Chains A and B, each alone.
Chain A
């Protein structure tokens, strides 16, 4: 890493402290960002990364400390000032209006509200020019509500660039991206650095931090505990700094598969909007085996997941459960037949945010396990929730608090507990570790492996190829609703899987047939 001759400090945070009630989210954090530099802000969920960036962006007001941008002190709690000073923030949860087009979202707020015209053609042209220069492929006239997650993120970045941002803050930008999209994002960021922008990159994915950053700042419990030049550190060291202890990634041993529990033979399902349905898919989930589903998001994963969880029924083909043909397939029969689900979106379909932990813990079993003659058994339910909290290490004040207040990792542990304690024979794990920190990831993976060893059939759907190859005993690749043949553990290189994911191998097979 070559240090510029005269480093120009574009951003300086001094002694930032922020308290939420009794919790200190940021404790006297100070750092400076140089021009053309990428700082990675590394830390587990709840370490205070997002809070710190929201203070920098003026969305929160710090209790102590100052923010200086290009040498000017920022007034606290004033996003407008940060924007005008050249800070662009790409939030983890996108701030886009789905009813507006791409260019409308981008110019929102960029022009004075009193202006008499939007000057649409000039705005479109500028968006197109920016998109071309930064290789951010997106149609300015598309409605944002119809875009994929990856495309939406490009819109967020364009939004910042449109306003001539010179400092980009990216909050967990890769949490929702496929590997290919992540690579494209990194290419864009390198482009931006080349043009003199500076970047703060918030993440807990170590390999990404190593790939993109010049310097790493590690946050733990709101305090800045370490600062390393990326070139002089290792993933291992960073992991240890992040959690405050040595981390070991468990090796997953080979499994001994048992009887087939669920088999699909040439099953098709209808398309749903832009998401393709399944096309003559054949797969078998065996007891004691993790079956991984690799693929770029939006290629039929949702259809397969909905099919297994009973939300949709096949339009053609055969579906057997433990050797017997399936009839009247619905979520209710799926649950009764021992299918348990870790849904893709834990906020939307996994939990009910304003219900408490007890209620969420029994969402799938309240009628069967926790009621007697039509009356709820609340004391039993509460005991069950307490057991989940203890067994699955759900960090929370108690079973009576609303699930909304849990961090993502703890919410996922609660769902995991609900799934594993249901005595399910088939476990559908859809993106089970998306957005979780290292500690939680290795915990969830360990539990899934243990469930496999106890004889469950696990279907693991993930866009993270590392996760798929490490955990799965058998891998299928899905592309445009078509499913590859099963590949046994260790027989496939990631590159080869990537070619399958791109759909190329399917086309070849199609021509051969």
Chain B
């Protein structure tokens, strides 16, 4: 029937992957922070700032990848603010994170108004276009579903593999995982817990900002307020859903995106005429909560998550 047709259409799967992309970037960013022991609630604001920074950079003549770099740099700068407050100062990570989200969002809107005082509707940029992967995009069904995406989407999936590789296969990843579990173990090996945690927060925040930039530079071609629309908070939940593992987090992002792609399509079915559209909008969130309940009962939280580390204290 309707549902069946939707699930069998290549466009549904292509949309799922597209919708998942910003979530993948930001979820990986959050995952890195949390694996090192820092909860980064600045994610929502950092995504807003990244969305704006990438777009405005391109608007001012930078190439698209230059815009991505600018977004990443802005995210890292905001991450640096978070990390200074939360790591060496050891302030409450809830307060620092929520504060950073409010600050980053407000600064973004302020900058927008200063830079574009007279516009009523924001100007558009020439956003990333889908790149048809040679040969693979000619495959029936899968070609359309998987291999005609924008370059940033491919980058998101590559990044997931890269983050997993670094976390599990390099000394640096080992140190990051240990810093979130037992910072004393890290310090006893003569490594700096402060440096590792700050580094993780800064790099992770950079990825969050790229996730935001995806919205203005790949999914869409312009910036408007409320664009990020709570995606950051979803990513916090996706990290838990993924049990702090990059692969599972990627699956979580895809699952949420699939629910989202599905609800848009369901609205256009005959059923959509009967049920208020708000119910469909709720669907991905409700199903995600359900999935979270099922999946994360036995997840192992990094033991030192949100626990500041002070050298030499009992």
Contact = CB atoms under 8 A, between A and B. Distances in A.
A108 interface: yes
A58 B311 CA distance: 12
A60 B187 CA distance: 12
Given A95-B184, A98-B303, A107 B177 contact: no
A59 B311 contact: yes
A91 B188 contact: yes
Nearest to B192: A80
Contacts of B181: 97-100
B170 A97 contact: no
B182 A96 contact: yes
A115 B170 contact: yes
Contact of A79 (B169, B171, B190): B190
On chain A, which size bracket covers the interface? 35 or more
A109 B177 CA distance: 12
A112 B177 contact: no
Contact of B171 (A82, A99, A113): A113
B171 A100 contact: no
Contacts of A79: 187-190
Contact of B190 (A80, A115, A118): A80
A120 to B, nearest CB: 8
Contact of B174 (A59, A81, A95, A118): A118
Given A59-B311, A113-B171, A118-B170, A99 B189 contact: no
A387 interface: no
Q: Which has the most chain B C-beta neighbours within 10 Å: A78, A82, A113?
A: A113
B185 A97 contact: yes
A113 B314 contact: no
Contacts of A100: 174, 177-178, 181
A111 B178 CA distance: 14
B302 interface: yes
A111 B173 CA distance: 12
CB-based closest 6 A-B pairs: A109-B189, A80-B190, A95-B188, A97-B181, A97-B182, A111-B171
Interface string B177-201: 1100110111111110000000000
B279 interface: no
Contacts of B311: 59
Given A59-B312, A95-B184, A96-B182, A83 B189 contact: yes
A362 to B, nearest CB: 24
Given A100-B174, A109-B171, 12 more contacts: A58-B190, A59-B187, A80-B190, A82-B190, A84-B190, A89-B188, A95-B188, A97-B186, A99-B181, A108-B185, A113-B172, A118-B171
B300 interface: yes
B175 interface: yes
Contacts of B175: 108-109, 113
A96 B187 CA distance: 11
A498 B184 CA distance: 36
B177 A99 contact: yes
B126 to A, nearest CB: 37
18 contacts: A59-B187, A79-B188, A80-B191, A81-B190, A89-B188, A93-B184, A97-B178, A100-B178, A105-B185, A108-B175, A108-B186, A109-B175, A113-B171, A113-B175, A117-B169, A117-B170, A118-B171, A404-B314
A107 B171 contact: yes
B174 A99 contact: no
A351 B187 CA distance: 27
A114 interface: yes
A240 interface: no
Contacts of A117: 169-170
A110 interface: yes
A98 B181 CA distance: 7
Contacts of B186: 97, 108-109
A116 interface: yes
Q: Which has the most chain A C-beta neighbours within 10 Å: B175, B184, B185, B312?
A: B185
Q: Which has the most chain B C-beta neighbours within 10 Å: A82, A108, A115, A118?
A: A108
Contacts of A89: 188
Contacts of A95: 182, 184-185, 187-189
A84 B189 CA distance: 10
A104 interface: yes
Contacts of A118: 169-171, 174
A116 B187 CA distance: 22
A231 to B, nearest CB: 34
Contacts of A104: 174, 178
A82 B190 CA distance: 9
A108 B170 contact: no
Interface in A162-205: none
B200 to A, nearest CB: 12
Contacts of B172: 113-115
Contacts of B171: 107-113, 115, 118
B210 to A, nearest CB: 23
Contacts of A97: 177-178, 181-182, 185-186, 303
